[in-house]
Structure 1
Amino acid sequence: MENKINTLLYNFKEKNISAIHEKLANLGYVLVQKLVTELGKLKSEIMNFEWDVIVIDHDNNNSLIEEILDFMNDLNRKTNILIVSDKIDSELVQLAFKNSKNDIVSKTDNTQITLSLIRNYEKARATKQFDFTKKELLRNQHSLKEHYNFLNQVIESTENPIFYKGSGGIYLGCNEAFAKFIGLPKDKIIGKTVFDVSPKEHAQKYYEMDQAFFRNPVVQKYEYKVVHAEGFTMDVLFHKSPLKDEDGNVIGLLGHMFDVTNKQEIEKALKDSEQKYKMLVEKMQEGIGIVDLDETVVFSNEAFDKMFGCEPGEMLGQNLKDYIVEEDLPNVLKQTARKKENQTSIYKLDIIRKDKKKRTLIISSVPWKNSNNEIMGAIGLVIDITAQEFSTKQLHKKIKIEQSIITISSKFISVENFQSKLDEALQEIKNIIEAERYSVITIQNKKIKLISELFNENVDQNDVEFVEIPFDEFKYGLKLLEHFGFIFFDDISNLPDEAIAEKELFEKYSFFNFLGIPFYVGSEIAGIISIINIYDVNEWTIEDLSVLRTISDIIGHAFSRNKAEEKVKQLNLDLSVKNEELEQVVYVTSHDIRSPVVNILGFSDEMTKALNKLSDKIFIETNRIQNKDEIEYILKKDVPQILNFIKVSGQKIDKLLMALLKLSRLGRAAINKTNVDMNNLVKTVVNNFEYIIKQDNIHIQIEELKDCFTDKVAINQVFSNLIDNSIKYKSHERETQIKISCKEDDGNIIYIIEDNGIGIPEGEISKIFDVFYRIDPENQQGEGIGLSLIKKIIERLDGKISVGSKEGEGTKFFISLEKLRIY
């Protein structure tokens, strides 16, 4: 990567420029210059552009130099000025070094001019980096105070010099050991370059190695003989590693210095340093939260709540945007857009806690999806930003582990395709711990059963088939489980005699080490997550166990939910079967009962005819019968009246049975949903009532109706019945008014059929959808199934129906249906 030095040259001689270009190119720099010869033009360029370096030919004119420096001071410009002169005297020196950023070199020494250009360029670039870093540090000082103290304690706890620099080579921080080595206080080091704090002969070496590091930013190790500030010489091993931002870009380096005069001491120092970093990572507290697409928290753990200064559970329902500092809101909106595009993200965020304290967090999020694979929001891992400053490598590992946990969690938000999700969970565990074999076994009826298994791709699968085994035979493993909450055998060959059952099983399946973490459904153990033949078993840590325990909790919860949902499915299936049986009983019963009812009605008619015929023959004038009048009354009045009662009752039974059959058939009728033009449909329905509308002077107002997605035939029947009811139950005290309108609500269309009829008594409203209920049974015909039928139709259309009414004023029916679908 070329370093371009933007340089403004004043009165500089052309003959020197080509030589300087060549020397800069050899050192990896490019001179981008602009040459001006007029003072006015020089001032204009200074005002309108920010230069890395300004080079001025002294030309034995001190007043010129003084005027330019005063002009720079008035503008508060911090640009480094290089003065070249063939005569350097005390007056010029005093004048130039009023500002420590200025430099003077001989006009004839192109090498010194080249080095001074590089030095001033690096100082300018470092100053910008330092200014930016300083602003960042000030802005985050309050929220990072505790983390900074912890980081500082860790850095200061080692006797080895530690420093870190920005990409421009500027020192951003160090420990006291480094300051003591340099021989300067820390505030005289931070913001400076190696040329400012180290002897010239060493600074050049440090600079070259830094440049080599940034050209190839991997871990750099080299030994160099240096002189301590106290004067003694020592061999030092420099260990430099990259510092990266959340996007993986290198933003600086972290350096350790080890005295390698004694190799044993450096090995111990390295071990101690690694142990301290390991301790740092293990003590980190992470928060996990789930937010919807509007950044409202729908789940949070205790650590998440604590980070926001809240009590456990207090963050639920709160919006993260209420805590985010104003300048970070655009970035949050950007990340929200990434979620909607099904993208994961890692980003830094500044928040103001509930107690008004400022905190800086790193959010690692993955999309949160529902069972239909629709993005509902994001699942986020929240960690402290200082983790990155301690060790990029450990942080990336931690994020990878936690993302595996989040991925597993997101998979089991729903338990559909449960078996495949178990297989995917094993794949995530494989990404965390390297082993030959992974499995999930369940404990059913006190027997172990293998339900999911995954092999490392580099391992041949064992041909021995896993069989169900009594769980309580493994007494030694059960004892470990009871005492420690997990089972871990690091070497099967070293198992004690009491573990003979475990040893025989493991040897059968070629296990040489075994880790088992239980999961529970309620308080009972439901199964074990097992990892077999771990490759680096000696590197297995408590952190790995903690990760697996978290995963086992997730899987246990998933098993519990799966069991519950299977039970619900079975109950729904049983209910569906019972409903079908009930419909069949109603249908068969209604059909079978109707046959004798038809016979009753038929024979009643036959009996009436027979009586008429008998009466005609008995009461002819030629017949002389005693008690003729009494017999005639019985045959012509009493018996026909009785037969009429039988017939009317039979007809009523027949109508009721027909109504039941109608309801029964409705449950089996096919539903064919499509987009329905409701304006045309309602107009067609109203036209069917045209005769009675004109006859009774009924006014019907139809507003513009929105289309919906429903069954056209079924909804036609609904509107026909409701309009018929409005006409049937009209008030005789006023002209009948019927109004049909609609409104949109939460993705549905609500249709309103409103009339000014007799209304419904308040105590009767809850009964109107009951089978055989009629509002005015004395004055109205019908069986009372119309509204029951409507309600059942609407429910089969996945809609809702409700009613509002006031006796003597009128009634409103509200029908909610799915709005028009756009394909």
Structure 2
Amino acid sequence: MGMGTGLELIDFEQILQSTSNGIRIIDKDFNVLKINKAYSDLFGVDEYESIGKKCYEVLGSSLCYTSDCPLEVILNGEKYAQYEMQIETINGGNINYISNVKPLYGPDGKLIGIIEDIKDITEIKRITDEIKIRDSILTSSINAIAVADLDGRITYVNSSFIDMWQCSIKEAMSRPITDFWQMGNNPADALSFLFKRGKWVSEGVINRKDGSLLNVQILASMVIDETDTPICIVTSFVDITELKRVKESKLRAQTALAIAKANTDTIKSIMDAVVIAIAITDLDGMIVRFNKGFSETFGLNLQTQGRNLTEFITEEDIPKVLNAIKKCIEDGHASNIECSAISENKGKIIVIIDFTLMKDSRGATTGIIAVIRDITEQKRSEETRERLSFELMNKNKELEQMIRIVSHDLRSPLVNIQGFSNELNISCKQIQDIIRENTTESLAEKLMPIINDDIPEILEYIMLSVSKIDSLLSGLLRISRLGRASLNIDEIDMDKLISNVIGTFEFQIKQYQIDLTVDKLPNCVGDESQINQVFSNLINNAIKYRDPNKNAVIHISGYENDGKVIYFVEDNGIGISPEHQEKIFDLFYRLDPKSTQGEGLGLNIVRKILDRHNGKVWVESEYGKGSKFYVSLPKTKKEILLDV
């Protein structure tokens, strides 16, 4: 259907009035030929009064009188133009809209004007800005955040999550959220509990790819909408290790999936699901918005809005907070501000504040985000730990000193008992000779059993007991010296060390015809003398607890794993029942005290040595089949924890 220069619009009336978009038709001379009701309602102009007037007289914009004027663009040969504009209406309001402009041709194919299709995007812009504000709030926390659907499938993770778990986004998204909850073999129970209670808090240890360990607090929350319908699962992973050291702690929190898909009320629910206190202030520190975590931290209600953030800070730390706000305005952020604050329900608390500058969709500064963490309990725990560590150190010193004194004081009477027992034994032999030479036969018959049998047997028991006590005292002294001896840490040639250790058992190996094999071993770091003692004890145990009904076999090997070096000593001996496998590392504990010699100190010494080397020892064993003792040691010097 064509249109003349008079533009017979009657045939188009139904089409124009049926669309929700505003329509405006302008001829080449800037005269308004037609607007529809949607346009009239949108901009507050009268439909009939506008026709015949110049378009810039009815409703002008910043493009009027410029080369970017939509009509000028079309007259210059363009077939299409699009503009996103903000305009002040006749009624005094601001409207954001998108204008799609196309040429209008007459029946003869000549250009007679333009048609503007105008879409109101004011509400979309408002929601977009609100979402970006929320996104900026959550991004300012360094907590690792994962969002999952109601089946536990991960749909979003933030960058802090990727950094914490040292995995790619693809790797994270391919796993269920329960894999990261550190719940052992019962992840389904944790998911079921979350659906019943709405949230739960747990703690775990992450073994990362680089070999480092992180202690984390895991906070899982079910996000619901205004009708209490579950929407998604938000899990926050807090690095407790870093929080204890405080100096390096930063906070971020993101929940981008919910921000992208949910309305404003849902986003607020997600903010409240993040238990960290969050407040938004203007550039002067006046609070304009805050979350549930802020209310719980400071014990406040809606009256918080309109107060200055410094009102919650103790007087001596207010300058520190003001300087941090100034730095945030200049640099965009200010992190790890530790200060004292006042909570109405907790009294004085210790907090860490991270400030982040907040901007809108146009990049204009709109305020400051303050992410606040209450570390009062962590501080108290640190102080308690330091106090207990100091007390324990003193008690250990006292115990070591007591062991040395007791061992020394007991050794002297033991020497006397041993010496006089030997003297008594000699005296008994002298009495035997005298009796044989000077007594009657009947008296000799009565005395000789006592002299020949009873007294020597008693002396033998005395000497055995003396030897046992002396051995125990020697073991106690060795243990006490372990805690005092300084460590000479260096790289150890383990092939050479094991060869030297085996050399000391050469006699027993040949005597019992033991098949002992050693693989090529990786090197580690440690004190060579003490590591020698570790493997001497393990190989000695493998020989001592061999199965007399089998040909004894001992195999030694090692490998590298996650920055550690793992060695093992494997035998086919009598094995260890499950109920004994933890007890064997206890002081004085022996598996078979009647059949084997020893004081029950060897494995306890092994564990103490490895504790000082930031190492571990553990056993895998089956009774009747043999045992496999594992030893974990650092690969490099930087991974070893030296005693102070």
- Provide Cα deviations, 1:745-776, integer angstroms capped at 9, x if missing partner: 44333222111122234443343223233333
Q: Deviations over 1:391-418 (max 9, x none)?
A: xxxxxx979989999xxx9xxxxxxxxx
- 1:706 and 1:627, CA in 2 relative to 1: closer, same or farther beyond 3 A? same
Distance 1:802 1:455 in 2: 50
Higher relative contact order (CA 8 A, sep 6+): 2
The answer to whether the 8 A contact 2:141-2:251 is kept is yes
Give 1:321 deviation, angstroms: 5.8
Letter in 2 for 1:579: N
Alignment check: 8 A CA contact 1:368 1:378 kept: no
Query: Any conservation in 1 of the 2:432–2:448 contact (CA below 8 Å)?
Result: yes
In 1, the alpha carbon distance for the partners of 2:544 and 2:474 equals 21
The secondary structure found in structure 2 opposite 1:566 is helix
Whether contact under 8 Å (2:525, 2:634) holds in the other structure is: yes
Rounded Cα–Cα distance in structure 1 between residues aligned with 2:281 and 2:532? 59
Q: CA deviation at 1:290?
A: 7.7
1:800-811 matches, within 5 Å, as 800-811=616-627
Structure 1 pair 206–815 and aligned structure 2 pair: CA distance change class (3 A): same
CA contact 1:759–1:806 (8 Å) conserved in 2: yes
Q: Does structure 1 residue 741 correspond to structure 2 residue 565?
A: no
Question: Are the structure 2 counterparts of residues 690 and 612 from structure 1 closer, same or farther at C-alpha, using a change threshold of 3 Å?
Answer: closer
Equivalent in the alignment of 1:752 = 568
Matching residue's letter, 2:455: V
| Counterpart secondary structure, 1:768 | helix
Counterpart for residue 22 of structure 1? none
* Deviation for aligned residue 1:813: 0.8
CA shift digits 1:572-605 (9 cap, x unpaired): 3333333333333333223222222222112212
Equivalent residue runs for 1:481-630 within 5 Å: 518-519=342-343, 523-526=345-348, 554=372, 557-616=374-433, 618-619=434-435, 621=437, 627-630=443-446
Give runs of aligned pairs for residues 2-41 of structure 1, distance below 5 A.
none
Partners in 1 of 2:451 and 2:614 — Cα distance?
58
Match of 1:344 in 2: none
Residue 64 of structure 2 aligns to a residue whose secondary structure is: helix
The structural deviation recorded for 1:377 is 9.7
Structure 2 counterpart of 1:779? 595
| TM-superposed deviation, 1:204 | 10
The one-letter code matched in structure 1 to 2:583 is K
Secondary structure, counterpart of 1:697 in structure 2:
coil
**Of residues 131, 134, 138 in structure 2, which corresponds to 1:286?**
134
Contact 2:280 2:368 in 1 (8 A): no
CA distance in structure 1 between the aligned counterparts of 2:572 and 2:350, rounded to whole angstroms: 69
Partner of 2:460: 644
SS in 2 for 1:671: coil
SS at match of 1:651: helix
Report the CA distance shift for 1:811/1:454 in structure 2 as closer, same or farther (over 3 A): closer
- Residues 289 and 380, structure 1, Cα contact 8 Å, conserved in 2: yes
Give the partner amino acid of 1:206: C
Counterpart amino acid of 1:208? Answer: T
Instruction: Using structure 2 for the length normalisation, give the TM-score.
Output: 0.51
Q: How many residue pairs align between the two structures?
A: 421
**Quick one: distance in 1 between partners of 2:547 and 2:349?**
70
- In structure 2, the partner of 1:681 is 497
- Over aligned residue pairs, what C-alpha RMSD do you find? 5.7
In structure 1, the residue matched to 2:173 is: none
Are the equivalent residues in 2 in contact too, given 1:744–1:750 (CA < 8 A)?
Answer: yes
Give the residue type in structure 2 aligned to 1:286.
Answer: R
Q: Is the contact between residue 414 and residue 470 of structure 2 (CA under 8 Å) also seen in structure 1?
A: yes
User: Do residues 657 (structure 1) and 460 (structure 2) align?
Assistant: no
Distance 1:794 1:292 in 2: 38
Give the Cα–Cα distance (whole angstroms) in 1 for the partners of residues 530 and 286 of structure 2: 50
Contact 2:585 2:603 in 1 (8 A): yes
* Aligned 8 A contact 2:564 2:635 in 1: yes
Distance 2:527 2:317 in 1: 45
Q: 1:183 to 1:573 in 2, by over 3 A?
A: farther
Q: In 2, are the aligned partners of 1:608 and 1:640 still within 8 Å (CA)? A: yes
**Contact preservation (8 Å) 1:752, 1:815:** yes
Cα 1:645/1:292, change in 2 over 3 Å: farther
Shift of 1:630: 2.9
Partners in 2 of 1:687 and 1:805 — Cα distance? 26
| Residues 436 and 444, structure 2, Cα contact 8 Å, conserved in 1 | no
The answer to whether the Cα contact below 8 Å between 1:438 and 1:455 also exists between their aligned partners in 2 is: no
Residue identity matched to 2:611: E
Give the match for residue 487 of structure 2.
671
Q: Is residue 156 of structure 2 the alignment partner of residue 320 of structure 1? A: yes
**Quick one: distance in 2 between partners of 1:659 and 1:282?**
71
CA offset digits 1:204-236 (Å, max 9, x no partner): 97253979xxxxxxxxxxxxxxxxxxxxxxxxx
- Aligned CA distance change for structure 1 residues 765 and 292 (closer, same or farther; 3 Å): farther
Mapping for residues 174-185 of structure 1, pairs under 5 Å: none
- Quote the Cα distance in structure 1 between the aligned partners of 2:128 and 2:64: 29
8 Å CA contact retained: 1:708, 1:818: yes
Residues 578 and 285 of structure 1: CA distance in aligned 2, closer, same or farther (over 3 Å): same
The aligned residue for residue 721 of structure 1 is 537
Match of 2:234 in 1: none
In structure 1, stretches of 5+ residues that fail to align are 1-93, 95-148, 157-173, 185-194, 212-250, 260-264, 271-275, 324-330, 334-352, 360-366, 387-396, 410-431, 442-448, 458-515, 530-543
Whether 1:208 aligns to 2:66 is yes
Q: Do the aligned partners of residues 570 and 657 (structure 1) sit closer, same or farther apart at CA in structure 2, a change above 3 Å counting?
A: same
Distance 1:604 1:802, change over 3 A: same
Q: How far off is 1:800 after superposition?
A: 1.8
- After superposition, residues 158-237 of structure 1 pair within 5 angstroms as 206-208=64-66
AA of the residue aligned to 2:376: F
User: C-alpha offsets along residues 297-345 of structure 1, whole Å, 9 cap, x if unaligned?
Assistant: 8447xxxx6xx8x68xx98x9451699xxxxxxx989xxxxxxxxxxxx
Q: Conserved in 1, the CA contact under 8 Å of 2:556 and 2:567?
A: yes
Q: What SS does the corresponding residue of 1:665 show, helix, strand or coil?
A: helix
The whole-number CA distance in structure 2 between the counterparts of 1:376 and 1:744 is 33
Cα displacement string for residues 613-643 of structure 1 (whole angstroms, at most 9, x for unaligned residues): 4554x34746779834434443444333323
* Correspondence for 1:706: 522
The residue identity in structure 1 corresponding to 2:87 is: H
Map Cα deviations across residues 629-687 of structure 1 (whole Å, 9 max, x no partner): 43444344433332332222112111111112222222222233333332332233223
Q: Secondary structure at the match of 1:742?
A: strand
Q: Secondary structure at the match of 1:773?
A: coil
Deviation, structure 1 residue 722: 1.0
User: SS at the partner of 1:570?
Assistant: helix
In 1: Cα distance, 2:62 partner to 2:368 partner? 47
With over 3 angstroms needed to count, the CA separation of the structure-2 counterparts of 1:205 and 1:744, relative to structure 1, is: closer
CA distance in 2, matches of 1:769, 1:280: 63
The one-letter amino acid paired with 1:780 is T
CA distance in 2, matches of 1:726, 1:694: 14
CA distance in 1, matches of 2:284, 2:316: 27
Decide which structure has the larger Cα Rg and report it: 1
Partner of 1:462: none
SS in 2 for 1:645: helix
Read off the aligned partner of 2:617 and give its amino acid letter: I
Structure 1 residues 299 and 581 mapped into 2: Cα distance closer, same or farther (>3 Å)?
farther
Which segments of 5 or more consecutive residues in structure 2 lack a partner in the other structure?
A: 5-19, 23-37, 49-53, 70-81, 95-122, 160-167, 171-222, 226-230, 232-238, 262-278, 292-305, 324-339, 352-365, 640-644
Distance 2:62 2:155 in 1: 53
The change in CA–CA distance for 1:752 and 1:375 in structure 2 (over 3 A counts) is farther
1:612/1:453 CA distance change after superposition, 3 Å? farther
Contact 1:729 1:757 in 2 (8 A): yes
